[in-house]
Amino acid sequence: MHKTVAQRDPASAFPLAQARDDASERRQANRAVAVSAIGLGVTGLIELLLAVLTGSVGLLGDAIHNLSDVSTSAVVFLGFRLSRRPPTEEYPYGMERAEDLAGIGIAVVVWASAAFAGYESVRKLIEHGSTAFVGAGIAGAVLGITGNQLVARYKLRVGKRISSATLVADARHSWLDALSSAGALAGLIVVALGQRWGDPVAGLAVTLFICHVGYEVTADVMHRLADGINPDVITRAEAAAGSVPGVIHAHARARWTGRTLRVEIEGWVDPDLPARDSDAMGHLVAEEISRHLPEAGSLTWTARAAPV
């Protein structure tokens, strides 16, 4: 005698059509991190030398923030390395969450940079410090803007392509550096016009920019760690499952673990439906999920007996 859904409450994982090339995505991520670290390291060192030469706190804060990106790149790289570990009995989902935890490291560095830039700016403003070789400082700020824009766009493009929230957060961090470079540039231009207060005020503006993006990065990372999800994902998942013949009602849940979107769907079906047919229905649901929710990387289907 065949078992029916009313007698069995199966929950099964079903493969999705769009098999991701995880190895390729990791290579892209590691390359993006390495190239960005080198580019920002060179940019930051040049700015640091010019900041020491000119005494510009705006440029100094920008340089330190650029160099901090090198340390965040190391954090991101460590997160990608840890996430490669396969599932075990203790960690049945593997270590994919390591990529999300790396985002916390990025947020910490952003806030530390804000504290340092703010302190140096206030100190110079109170002490009425001067700025020398303003032309060289302006050239350093322009270099910072250019370098950070290039790096930010590169990391953002790769991060979105491989669905890496950590790499996207790191790209926003670099985008912030471009804004802080612009703030340092504005302050130096004011100094060149004869107002020495322009540099420390620019340093304070840079600090505010850092705090703003630090808040955004922190909010994004915490949203993902708390299993927050875009409601549109749930809507599309339920619509896809509900379009399968025989599914009376569907309820979906989803969450990100690293770069994998895991979708769980409970489908209410005819209580007399044989369990074997519910598995076949699960494959049809997987096909619809692949079509309507291509970013999904994992699907669990549970057939429930609809009330009579």
pLDDT confidence tier of residue 9, bands split at 50, 70 and 90 = low
In a domain? residue 221: yes
**Contact call for residues 227 and 240 (beta carbons, < 8 A):** no
211-237 residue pLDDT tens? 887 888 888 888 888 889 989 999 999
Do 96 and 175 share a domain, yes or no? yes
Do 249 and 140 share a domain, yes or no? no
Do 54 and 118 share a domain, yes or no? yes
SS (H, E, C) 149-192: HHHHHHHHHHHHHCCCHHHHHHHHHHHHHHHHHHHHHHHHHHHH
Structural domain span for residue 209: 22-225
Do 34 and 95 share a domain, yes or no? yes
CA 97 to CA 90: how far, in whole Å? 14
Do 201 and 253 share a domain, yes or no? no
In the chain, the DSSP E strands lie at 11-14, 249-257, 260-269, 296-305
Residue 246: strand pairing partners:
none
Joined tokens for residue 135: 């032309």
Do 158 and 210 share a domain, yes or no? yes
The tokens 């090198």 sit on which residue?
Answer: 70
Residue 242 sits in a domain whose CATH number is: 3.30.70.1350
Do 79 and 121 share a domain, yes or no? yes
265-288 residue pLDDT tens? 998 888 777 767 777 888 889 889
Residue 177 sits in a domain whose CATH number is: 1.20.1510.10
Give the single-character DSSP code of 86. P
Cut 0.75: pTM above it = no
Do 288 and 156 share a domain, yes or no? no
Structural domain total, the chain: 2
CA atoms lying within 13 Å on the CB side of residue 131: 34
Do 220 and 149 share a domain, yes or no? yes
CA 70 to CA 18: how far, in whole Å? 34
Span of 16-20, 34-38, 253-257 with lowest mean pLDDT: 16-20
The 3-state DSSP class for residue 22 equals helix
Q: What proportion of the chain, given as a percentage, has pLDDT over 90?
A: 10
pLDDT confidence tier of residue 3, bands split at 50, 70 and 90 = low
CA distances from 168 to 28, 108, 142 (A): 13, 16, 24
pLDDT surpassing 70 at residue 7 = no
Do 166 and 253 share a domain, yes or no? no
> Roughly how many angstroms between the first and final C-alpha of the chain, as a whole number?
21
CA 290 to CA 285: how far, in whole Å? 9
Residues counted in the chain: 308
CA 13 to CA 4: how far, in whole Å? 19
Contacts of 192 (CB under 8 A, 6+ apart): 134, 135, 138
Do 101 and 184 share a domain, yes or no? yes
